[in-house]
A and B are shown apart, each in its own frame.
Chain A
Amino acid sequence: MAVSVESRNLVSAPDGGSREELVVNVGPSHPSTHGVGRVIVHLDGDIVVKAEPVIGYLHRGIEKMAENRTYLQVVPLTDRLDYVGSMYANWAYCRAVERLAGIAVPERAEYLRVIVCELQRIASHMMGIGASAADTGAFTFFIYAFDQRERIIELFERLCGARLTYNYVRPGGVSFDAPQGWTQDVLAFTKAFRAAAADLDRLFFGNVIARGRMKGIGVLSADDAVAWGASGPTARASGVNWDLRKHDPYSVYPRMDFDVVVGERGDAYDRGRCRLLECVESCRIIDQAISQMHPGPVRTEGLPRLLQPRPGEAYDHIESARGSLGVYLVSDGSVRPYRMHVRSPAFCNLALLPLLAEGHTLSDLVVVLGSLDPVFGEVDR
């Protein structure tokens, strides 16, 4: 089931002869599709002629479910979208609700949101580059990277009790204030992570095998990245300097001093390395946020349980680990959203796969797929 040959066809070649085209099915249960992705690959020898992703194996109908939930009840559903980085969908959704209902958020809550989302970015990137490294055979790196992720998960667990589906960011603030000593531990983590990141960089991106496997593979030009709606590290690795935290700043990001990591060549190597370097920038943001944060309330007082925004619609987006994650909410004045749509960066990035994989070998296809870092909960919604 993982990889199977579907058919062998004779197709006419441009030189007048004919060659055999092999149609190979990869997935939907394959370790290197990072979930339930499936790709139907047409091969000429070992070269990919056409790669056709088949998605929807995790389509759970969250957008439909949201239409029969109250505004607060939708928050746990958004956790299940991008399950590698649950905080993002929480936050994007809450921003849309806050915009729709005109809710102001206390400053401390905004800082906490920034801290957890930057921690989440590190956790998510560790998973992303770790898994794609494992596809190239560097399993050791995956274990090292996952160790860092596990440390962050522990911090989250202390903050909100959950390891994966946090339900932490709520309309009007966050669910809990940081427990005693938490911020010190976060600072200790970022300090340790900086050293670890240098090691990880040497361990994998300095490795001659990784360079050989990833450099020049799946090159995405900046124009294509823009036209295809790519965002996040996928677009930035191609030289598109576009980061919502910087260019459409939200929350308290304007007060932070950080750099946007931009790549040059737009190949799989750059996409992976951009992610790792971004994590170091995240550490900078976390340190600043903690030093700027003051005690205070973390939830807006007096919010009703049943939010009932006036009729209208709102769109808001944040920079998630995969790109610009937007939530489009339509209200008809009742207690439930009339329509919720999630603009999913992983979905848009994955659409690039046919473009990027063409002309490479089958073994490079998994490298390209891994470098796009899809999370199928978010691709399929």
Chain B
Amino acid sequence: MTPDEMAALLERITAHNPRLHPLFSLEFGDAVVGVERAELFATAADLRDAGFDRLGMVTAVDRDEVFVLVYRLHSRSLSAAIFLKTLVPRDDAWVASLVELWPAALWQEREVFDLFGIHFEGHPDLRRILLPDDFVGHPLRKDYDDPRLIRRPDYI
């Protein structure tokens, strides 16, 4: 997809969806739209009905006060992909689960819960998936500390 097509698509999606706002530029070649946390589920449902039938990726990025949740949606019919982002405050980390829309979220949300400690409201089976059940903490948070973790000395 060329940047122009991408921009047009972004325009089209955001035009009839007042909840969405284009968040980031296209400089790295991906269309990114942001949405308020409370409206994530409704927006995702709209996008799914608009043809985004695949949920490719769910992940999060730790940005100190907030977590940025990143969803990558993909449409075969439009042959396009967009990133959907929402911000989750660190001390109140929850977000609606998208399992009802795409079962693909089942394991990926469990993974984000496991490694970041973000709760997915409405997830049918929110348990740790990669780490043992008795593991304490969420290792992909930037402030995670663990005596077992030996920091690599700075060679560079």
Q: In the complex, is A directly touching B at CB under 8 Å?
A: yes
Using CB atoms and an 8 Å cutoff, list the residues of chain A in contact with chain B: 55-56, 59, 61, 63-64, 68-70, 99-100, 224, 226-229, 242, 247-248, 306, 312-315, 324, 326, 328, 330, 335, 338-339, 341, 343, 347-348, 350-351, 380-381
In the A-B complex, the 8 residue pairs with the closest CB atoms: A229-B104, A56-B130, A59-B130, A343-B57, A341-B59, A351-B107, A314-B28, A339-B61
For A61, give the chain B residue with the smallest CB separation.
B139
Question: Nearest Cβ in chain A — how far from B57, in angstroms?
Answer: 4
A99 in contact with B29 (CB, 8 Å): yes
Which single member of B28, B72, B83, B106 contacts A100 (CB below 8 Å)? B28
Which of the residues B28, B76, B130, B132 comes within 8 Å of A242, measured between beta carbons? B76
> Are A348 and B140 neighbours in the complex by a CB distance under 8 Å?
no
A56 pairs with B131, CB closer than 8 A: yes
Most buried by B among A59, A68, A70, A335: A59
Are B53 and A326 in contact, CB atoms less than 8 angstroms apart? no
Collect the chain A residues with CB atoms within 8 Å of residue B83's CB. Answer: 315
Q: Which of B61, B107, B131, B151 is within 8 Å of A59, CB to CB?
A: B131
- How far, in Å, is A57 (CB) from chain B's closest CB? 9
Per the bound structure, the CA–CA distance linking A224 and B103 in Å amounts to: 9
Q: Which residues of A contact B115 (CB under 8 A)?
A: 63
Number of A-B pairs, beta carbon distance below 8 Å: 88
Size of the chain B interface, CB-CB below 8 angstroms: 35
| Interface flag for B43 (CB, 8 Å) | no
CB distance B72 to A315 under 8 Å?
A: yes
Known contacts A227-B104, A351-B104: does B129 contact A99 (CB below 8 Å)? Answer: no
In B20-55, the 8 Å CB interface with A consists of 27-30, 53-55
Q: Would you call A348 and B152 a contact (CB within 8 A)?
A: no
Who on chain B is nearest to A330 by CB? Answer: B61
**Which of A224, A228, A326, A347 has most B Cβ within 10 Å?**
A228
| A-B residue pairs in contact (CB < 8 Å), sample of 18 | A55-B130, A56-B129, A56-B130, A70-B156, A100-B28, A226-B76, A227-B102, A227-B104, A228-B102, A228-B103, A229-B108, A312-B27, A312-B28, A313-B28, A339-B140, A341-B57, A343-B59, A351-B107
How many angstroms between the C-alpha atoms of A182 and B85 in the bound complex?
46
Q: Per DSSP, are chain B's interface residues mostly helix, strand or loop, or mixed?
A: loop
Bound together, the chains give a CA A351 to CA B131 distance in angstroms of: 17
B56 at the interface (CB under 8 A from A): yes
Q: Are A324 and B56 in contact (CB under 8 A)?
A: yes
A348 touches B151 (CB 8 A): no
| Contact indicator A348/B107 (Cβ below 8 Å) | yes
Q: Is the CB–CB distance between B30 and A315 below 8 Å?
A: yes
Q: Indicate whether A227 sits within 8 Å of B140 (C-beta atoms), given known contacts A56-B132, A348-B108.
A: no
For A330, list chain B residues within 8 Å (CB): 61
**Is B79 at the interface (CB under 8 A from chain A)?**
yes
Cα(A162)–Cα(B77), bound, Å: 41
Given contacts A312-B28, A328-B70, A227 and B76 within 8 Å (CB-CB): no
Also in contact, A68 and B151, with CB within 8 A (given A55-B129, A338-B61): yes
Complex Cα distance A64/B152, Å? 12
Q: What would 4 more interface pairs be, CB under 8 Å, given A68-B151, A312-B28, A347-B108?
A: A55-B129, A99-B28, A247-B79, A343-B59
Does the CB pair B57–A328 fall under 8 Å?
yes
A339 & B62 in contact (Cβ 8 Å cutoff): yes
- Residues on B with C-beta less than 8 A from A68 are 151-152
Which residue of the partner chain, among B61, B102, B130, B156, contacts A306 with CB atoms under 8 Å?
Answer: B156
Bound state CA distance, A70 and B56, in angstroms? Answer: 27
CB-CB under 8 A from B131, the residues of chain A are 56, 59
- Which of chain B's residues have a CB closer than 8 A to the CB of A350? 107
Least CB distance from A224 to B in Å reads 8
Chain B positions within 8 Å of A338 at CB level: 61
Q: Chain B contacts of A328 at CB under 8 A?
A: 57, 59, 70, 72
CB-nearest residue of chain B relative to A347?
B107
**Most B C-beta atoms less than 10 A away, residue of A70, A227, A314, A380:** A227
CB distance A64 to B104 under 8 Å?
no
Tell me, in angstroms, the Cα distance from A347 to B76 when the chains sit together.
21
Closest to B142 in A: A67
